[in-house]
Amino acid sequence: MENERKERTSRGIDPDKFGLWRGCDGGYYTPSARCRRCGKTASEHLLSGVSSAQPQRDAGKALDRPPEIKKSLLRVDGACRVRITRGHGPAGPLDRDNLFGACKKLRDEIAAKILGLSDDAESETLEWEYAQKPGSGVLVEIFEKKMNTNETNKE
């Protein structure tokens, strides 16, 4: 940086003062000019040195520590319905497929750490619901699922 500063001032021009940028050919250009060597603008030069964004995978668990639950409030051995309500920003809600995908990790953790189940598949005893609302955060609600015990008698 110091050598570059000396080189700039040795020519009698301070590029920062005049808003000039340095192209790949070593020449200085005005903000709207293109490099003579590659034809890129100042912003294209800056972006060419930046790698494209890669999706980051979260290696952590969705629920690092299970919440404390009073056993009297939740009967894990009974049938239940779990509703996951996800907040969304000004961009709007996710479509159905992306909502399910966004909740998958949390769903796995709820099944394992709270409900004590090895599988989160829907069954007669476990049902999943998804919802979205404006805002941030996630609300998880677990309801006791009433089993239909009325059987129809055929005569």
Segment holding 131, helix H or strand E: strand 126-134
Separation between Cα atoms, residue 83 and residue 81, nearest integer Å: 7
Does the pLDDT of residue 51 top 80, yes or no?
no
Does the pLDDT of residue 124 top 50, yes or no?
yes
Does the pLDDT of residue 6 top 80, yes or no?
no
| pLDDT value at residue 133 | 93
| 82-108 residue pLDDT tens | 999 999 888 889 999 999 988 998 998
Side-chain half-sphere exposure of 93, counting CA atoms within 13 A? 13
| 14-31 residue pLDDT tens | 777 778 888 888 888 888
Side-chain half-sphere exposure of 128, counting CA atoms within 13 A? 17
- Residue range 59-69: average pLDDT? 58
- Cα dihedral 18, 22, 23, 28, rounded to 10, equals 50
| Selected residue with higher pLDDT from 149 and 72 | 149
Separation between Cα atoms, residue 29 and residue 48, nearest integer Å: 17
| pLDDT value at residue 79 | 83
| pLDDT value at residue 154 | 43
Residue type, 56: Q
- Nearest Cα residue to 24 out of 14, 5, 39, 6: 39
| pLDDT value at residue 66 | 58
Q: What percentage of residues in the chain have a pLDDT greater than 70?
A: 66
Domain ranges of the chain: 2-47, 80-144
Rounded to two decimals, what is the model's pTM? 0.49
